[in-house]
Amino acid sequence: MDRIDRSILRALQNNARISNVDLATLVGLSPSACLRRVSHLEKAGVIDGYHAHLNAAKMGQEVLVLVQITLHGQSAEMMAEFEQAVAKITQVLACFLIAGENDYILRVAAQDVNDFGRVHSTYLSALPHVLRMESNFVLREVMNRGVAPSEH
């Protein structure tokens, strides 16, 4: 990956709907050369999709909670059962297996604090093999970006 590929990736992260002509102009290529590069990045799996970033608040999801979870153990079976169960909870937007004191961090969306209480008591507390759970309410999103193309 060279400087032009990184420029293409940055531009697409900022606006995945940019036209190929505008993208080509932005990165200093002809439209056909730019399209070839984008196609190559897609085929190589560097670009694995294009997504709409939805405004959670405008969709009625005013509360975002980061939930740290520690399991009773870390056997492959326990982790698989936990991951299968958490994937079924639609309010869980992301689940990350982490290293450190906790085993997982979940990003959970809710309409309000009462709705999160319902999600917690109905779904999260029923997750298998959970030893401890700690919820942290997000007060304000400062920044949230995808993977930055490396400069190397």
Q: How far apart are CA 72 and CA 12, in angstroms?
A: 42
**Cβ proximity of 132 and 69 under 8 Å:** yes
* Per-residue model confidence as pLDDT tens for the chain (152 residues): 899 999 999 999 989 999 999 999 999 999 999 999 999 999 999 999 998 888 888 888 999 999 999 999 999 999 999 999 999 999 999 999 999 999 999 999 999 999 999 999 999 999 999 999 999 999 998 988 777 776 65
Residue 51 is predicted with a pLDDT of: 87
Domain 3-43 has CATH 1.10.10.10: yes
| pTM for the predicted model, two decimal places | 0.79
Q: Where are the domains of the chain?
A: 3-43, 57-137
Q: How far apart are CA 141 and CA 107, in angstroms?
A: 13
CATH number of 57-137: 3.30.70.920
Residue 145 is predicted with a pLDDT of: 75
**Cβ proximity of 89 and 119 under 8 Å:** yes
Residue 151 is predicted with a pLDDT of: 67
Distance of CA 84 to the CA centre of its chain: 18
DSSP state of 126: G
